[in-house]
Structure 1
Amino acid sequence: MATTDELAARLCAAAGLEPPTSVQRAALSSANEHFLVDGTFVLRRYRQRAAPHTALVRVRRELRALETLATAGVPVTRVLAACEEPGAESLLVERAKGESLGSWAARLPLDEAAGAWAAAGHALAAVHSVDVGRPADEASRGTWHYEEVLANLDRLRESRPDLPALDRLLALVEDARPFCEEAPVAFCQCDAHLWQFMLVRRGTDWECTAILDWEHAELAALHALPHRTRRVDPRRPCARTRVAG
């Protein structure tokens, strides 16, 4: 099995980059391993899990998701290279700019953080607008999401009765019920918590620079592909992957 330094060197070579001079473990809370490469790139190395969510399945799913979203103009990290070899399943991506929504929200007053929340919401809405076709099984959770939100609001009301806007939030959820009953199929990240949204602040304006972590995105079934190391042209933000020479 390749060491992380060896893997970083191989992926940088596949992406047409200079050999890395620094590979350091990133302080990220994740089910996978993350390493900062020269402070500019992130090596995401997938831990093995039981089928059907093996490392190979997850790296393929995330690669497909990032390519699809980048082509649609959704803010995601740009993939430079990918490896599907057993024990070395990984992606090399550009490091996202900014800080997470969770970090911003923890230290800003609510009125100042409102713009950050709005920017993250617009980015997530763009994800849900991506046309990926109808999945083969035509699955949709539909009203399950509506019922889950109601249950979560009940728990939030019990734990934080001081929050003033829960009634307004409940009204918004009720307004969304007809949409849930239509059972639409959309591209879903499936783990969209506050630390998945990276944002930068420019005065009073906010920009979501990337939504992270797409290994559990709901997509149509992926085609079986042979193990290989692949690359994305770093000069083209929407480039398709290619087999590395």
Structure 2
Amino acid sequence: MPACWVRGTSCGTLRAHSPRPEPRRMSERSESPFDLDALSAWLGQAVTGFAGPITLQKFKGGQSNPTYALDTPNKRYVLRSKPGPVAKLLPSAHAIEREFRVLDALADSEVPVPKVLALCQDEGVIGRMFYLMERVDGRIFWDAALPELDAAARGPIYAAMNDTIAALHRVVPEQIGLADYGAAGNYFERQIHRWSKQYRASETQTIEAMEQLIEWLPGAMPADEEARIVHGDFRIDNLVFHPSEPRVIAVLDWELSTLGHPLADFAYHCLAWFTPPGIMRGIAGLPIANLGLPSLESYIADYCQKTGRQAGIPDLNFYLAYNLFRLAGIAQGIAKRAEQGTASSAKALETGALARPVAELGWRIAQGHMH
């Protein structure tokens, strides 16, 4: 059954889900948090052809930026807003204007993105900033092993996914007006410093592997300063596929996008081959060849061919270890909040407990143990 493109979970590799979570569903609550008359009036002026009346239903789930199905008699849209009330948000948090900007900039590129229609930065309209986009319907695969498909159909899905991330990393930011979309230079240095600091602030126990990574990563950084648009959370369940063809028709969840090293982005995507099914949403330990899934080696070779990397990825262990270090830092932050009682759910405890095994996997890979 086709699924609406909307979802929204940052760093979803670590989310405590079953191997096949339910598709995103709309809330049964009918009341709107917004003044629909004010919203309809603004959209009528800002969006060509927009005409109410409108109905609004929130999509369930853990979106940090609430997302709604907005329907009119003639067309279906998606509205994405900052959470409210605005006064309680940090200035840089929930920057949906950045999401709008990157989606708008990529509209004419090879990267399939939903078409954005209008950004409202006037918080007086509905009490928070929001943007409207067209709605894209297709298939979302929640399990990287693709159990709903035959073996022969799985390879083409992975090939389409590879095509899409390669297309993103071929985009030259300066050519689409995104030269200032992120800080210039020293990407890994800045990221390692940031996540080391955040890890220290949330440390609840000594994790020897994390200590090793914090010491090793700064000295192992590649020398090149390559900069491209990085998605930040590129994985299979953040993609919408054509209803019947092995083709990506929309890339979702650009909340973490910035300018950075494309191989950091690609290596994050490749963690599926190193992490198990279920809570980590990977395919490690599965009979990949029998399932019709590509080997990591062939997947990397395809990406390198599509992005002109004739030398392959010599520092792959660094890029993988860096991403696992970052994910361990995120998990440790969740563990700290669970300990303090600000994130006391069973899922928070389960996700927080991943800090140690994720860091240990990262340190093994850093040492060259890739299998």
Once the two structures are aligned, what percentage of the paired residues are identical?
A: 23
- Pick 1 or 2: higher relative contact order, CA cutoff 8 A, min separation 6: 1
1:190 corresponds, among 203, 209, 232, to 232
SS at match of 2:233: coil
Distance (whole Å) between structure 2 residues aligned to residue 217 and residue 31 of structure 1: 15
Distance (whole Å) between structure 2 residues aligned to residue 219 and residue 63 of structure 1: 15
Contact 1:24 1:35 in 2 (8 A): yes
Question: Is residue 210 from structure 1 mapped to residue 250 from structure 2 by the alignment?
Answer: yes
> Structure 1 residue 7: deviation in Å?
5.8
> Structure 1 residue 6: deviation in Å?
4.2
Q: Residues 161-197 of structure 1, C-alpha deviation per residue, up to 9 Å, x if partnerless?
A: xxxxxxxxxxxxxxxxxxx653411101111232210
Contact 1:12 1:20 in 2 (8 A): no
Distance (whole Å) between structure 1 residues aligned to residue 158 and residue 35 of structure 2: 36
> Structure 1 residue 24: deviation in Å?
1.4
Distance (whole Å) between structure 1 residues aligned to residue 248 and residue 38 of structure 2: 30
* 2:108 alignment partner in structure 1: 71
Distance (whole Å) between structure 1 residues aligned to residue 111 and residue 147 of structure 2: 25
2:137 corresponds, among 90, 93, 97, to 97
Give the counterpart letter for 2:96 in structure 1: V
Give the counterpart letter for 1:131 in structure 2: V
* 2:153 alignment partner in structure 1: 112
- Where does 1:52-201 land on structure 2 (aligned, <5 Å)? 52-55=91-94, 58-86=95-123, 87-102=127-142, 105-133=146-174, 136-141=183-188, 182-201=224-243
* 1:37 alignment partner in structure 2: 70
Q: Residues 51-70 of structure 1, C-alpha deviation per residue, up to 9 Å, x if partnerless?
A: 35234xx1221111011111
When normalised by structure 2's length, the TM-score is 0.43
Distance (whole Å) between structure 2 residues aligned to residue 29 and residue 194 of structure 1: 18
Contact 2:227 2:259 in 1 (8 A): no
Question: Is residue 15 from structure 1 mapped to residue 38 from structure 2 by the alignment?
Answer: no
> Structure 1 residue 41: deviation in Å?
0.7
Inter-CA distance 103–36: structure 2 relative to 1 (3 Å threshold): farther
Which structure has greater strand proportion?
1
After superposition, the CA RMSD in angstroms is: 3.1
* 2:34 alignment partner in structure 1: 3
Structure 2: tracts of 5 or more residues without a match: 1-32, 193-221, 261-371
Give the counterpart letter for 2:67 in structure 1: H
Find the structure with the greater CA-based Rg.
2
SS at match of 1:122: helix
SS at match of 2:97: helix
Structure 1: tracts of 5 or more residues without a match: 146-179, 221-245
When normalised by structure 1's length, the TM-score is 0.63
Distance (whole Å) between structure 2 residues aligned to residue 73 and residue 100 of structure 1: 20
Contact 1:11 1:92 in 2 (8 A): no
> Structure 1 residue 199: deviation in Å?
0.2
